[in-house]
Amino acid sequence: MMYRFVQSCDKMLSTIHFHVSCIFTAKIYTVYHWQANNGEPKLKPLPLAYSSYFPVDSEEGKHPRDLVIILHGLLGSKSNWNSIAKAIVERVNRRVILADARNHGQSPHSDQMSYEHMAEDVRLLLDSLVVKKVDKVCLMGHSMGGRSAMYFALKYPSFVDNIIVVDISPVGAIESIDALVALCRAMKDVVLKPNLSLAEARADAGEQLKPHVRDLATLNFLLTNLVSRREVPGFRWRINLESIVDSSGRLAVFPNVGTTFGKSALFVGAENSSFLKPEDEPYILKLFPRAQFEYVPNSGHLIHVDNPDVLLALIIKFVSNV
């Protein structure tokens, strides 16, 4: 099956097998506004950049009604999940949306970042997609995106029919958050030389980051965030490193929502990762009583890189049976 791909720019592009449209959203810097009725702050959502995949034989305006939204992890972007999105479209008749989180990818930057903020961003995205016309919504997230998906499902259960959480748990604090903060600071300290090609600049930045990164897959994952500047020659990190560092404490701990999500949920862990552990399952079942658990062998935290075929099979099986 061929598919169409729509990505959030101000110009239309076309290719042989699929159509691409892009819309770059303007940056928004004010995150709080004040309610007139009680003076309490209300979280203001940001418009997220997103890519949309759907079967190429579906007519314009008549895309599949069932929807899968995928939220990437910390320091990632929607492009990390392109292959998975295409495969879902090819195997099941679903539209797939990949969204860049705030301070990541092509989405706006903000000095405010928390799971509460990111849930409001997803709510705005669903509103913009006219989700009332969609029959089923599966919200899927990896790592930070998985916690965002959990929080959203607990706060707005009527908006989603089921969730998939990839290698993350709501239990406890993320033990590696200090290492992630150190890595962000190391990225900020990288000397970006302007007189190189993008490939050369990424290779040079990679050499500078090697002392701080354990494996090549993670290093390559991080280097996808190094992009060319538009205004002047040179390069920049497209993620908001300063805001991520400042928000690390809020991202380390899952908020207490005080509700449960009674619909289907799939939790996928990795054999060689400690982000989702079997001993977390009893607590997770208190929040998500219909949760199912699967663990992918021969995989670290980046399951979609280490063992994408097994992960994809689990996703397809789940969305096909709920």
What tokens does 217 get? 């897959």
C-beta contacts of 152-157 below 8 A and 24+ residues apart: 152/118, 152/119, 152/122, 152/123, 153/261, 153/263, 153/265, 153/288, 154/257, 154/259, 154/260, 154/261, 154/287, 155/119, 155/257, 155/259, 156/119, 156/123, 157/259, 157/261, 157/262, 157/263
Are the C-beta atoms of 217 and 303 separated by less than 8 Å?
no
Phi then psi for residue 219, to 5 deg, are: -60, -50
Other CB atoms within 10 Å distance of the CB of residue 123? 17
- From residue 221, alpha-carbon distances to 74, 136, 215, 314 in Å are 11, 31, 10, 23
C-alpha count within 13 angstroms, C-beta hemisphere, residue 320: 12
Q: Report yes or no: 281 and 289 within 8 Å, Cβ to Cβ.
A: no
Q: Which of 32, 236, 221 is nearest to 114 (CA)?
A: 32
Any idea which residues carry the catalytic annotation? Answer: 143, 242, 301
How far is 66 from 96, CA to CA, in rounded Å? 9
* Per-residue burial over 201-239, b = 16 or more CB atoms within 10 Å of its CB, e = otherwise: bbebbbeebeebbeeeebbebbbbbbbeeeeeeebebbb
